[in-house]
Structures are given as structure tokens and as C-alpha cells.
Amino acid sequence: MTSTTQQQIAAAFKTLMLTMPFKQISVTLIMKQAQLRRQTFYEYFQDKYDLLAWIFNAEAGTDLEESVNYEHWTSSLLDLLNYLETNRAYYRNALAISEQNSFDQYFLAHTKQLTDIIVRDLLKTKNIPLTGEYISFLREYFSRAVVSVIVDWLQDDQPTSPQYLSHQLQTVIEDTISGFLIRVQ
């Protein structure tokens, strides 16, 4: 359950991320913006990287994990793209982080988990037996491709609509899966 204090800290952080680079934002600055004591931050988060990941998970991640499966993955993808579009400026700043705990690495790890669910559900639905090694390859392939396309889309100054991008990603993924199904039959 999300606390009001966590939401207050997250809102302050997101406000700061719209006007300044991540590197310039300190815990002290976040808490000053939130009008809370600095120590309160550490009751909820380890550091600002943890806060960044928490915001994505709280606002988009949990809903995606609960609703994603092979049958509904396309609507989950569109929901994610709509969320990212609404928060484009914030996530553009988040993606500019090139340090050890960068958001793109967190986003990739999150996408791998979702892709794993989709691929395993697809294989089960289509009754296709596969080895763990090839499942891992599919997860890696789709995750990296989707994240790369979404990151480029977020950084584009004149992006296509979330609906268009979702349709394009759907088409490529479904065509790849169709080709795979033809090969294994």
C-alpha cells in the first residue's frame, strides 16, 4: 500500500525532474520541495534511484504485472505507452541517467519480467514445448527490442502516437511469433 508521504515525496521528485537534470537533484532538494524532513526520505527509499524505480512501479509497473498475459498483452502495451506519453518529460530526464543504477536498466529488467510472462503464456496457450535456453533467448530478444524502440520514441521530438507505436510493435512481435509457429509445426 502506498503512503501519502511516499506520494508526496514522489510528486516533489517528479516536479524537480521536469526542470532540472537528475544529477543536480539531491535528497535534500527533494525533501525541501516536498516540505518534509530529510530523514523522512530514508524511511521509504534508499536513495533517489530507488525513488525513481518506485515511481515507475507504483504508477505503471504493478498494473502491468497484474494484467499482462498473452491474450491481453497488446492492451497492456498500449497502457504503458499512454502512461509514458503522459509522463514523457519526466522519463526523458530519467533516461538521460547513464550511471550504474540508470532507469533504462531498471526498465529493461522490468520489461524482461513482463516478456517472460507473455512468452511462457504464449507457449502454454499454443502447447509448444521449448527449452529454457530458447525461452531465455526470446525473452532477451523481445525485451531489448521493445525497450530500444520505446526509448527512441520517448526521446523523439516529434513522436508518433502511442496507438501507432503500439500497433507497430504488435505487428512485429506477432509476425515474429507467427514465423516461429510455422517453423515448429
| pLDDT, position 155 | 93
Angle 54-59-61 from CA coordinates, rounded to 5°: 75
The model carries a pTM of: 0.83
| pLDDT, position 67 | 58
Per-residue pLDDT of the chain (185 residues; tens, 9 = 90+): 468 999 999 999 999 999 999 999 999 999 999 999 999 999 999 999 999 989 988 888 655 556 565 566 778 888 889 999 999 999 999 988 877 778 888 888 888 888 877 777 777 777 777 777 887 888 899 899 999 999 999 999 999 999 999 999 988 887 877 777 777 66
Spatial separation of the C-alpha atoms in residues 167 and 84, rounded to whole Å: 16
* Residue whose C-alpha is closest to residue 78's, from 167, 173, 185, 180: 167
Name the residue type at position 128.
I
Spatial separation of the C-alpha atoms in residues 123 and 115, rounded to whole Å: 12
CA dist 18 → 13, 50, 85, 167 (Å): 9, 18, 14, 29
26-34, long-range: CB < 8 A, 24+ apart: 34/8, 34/9
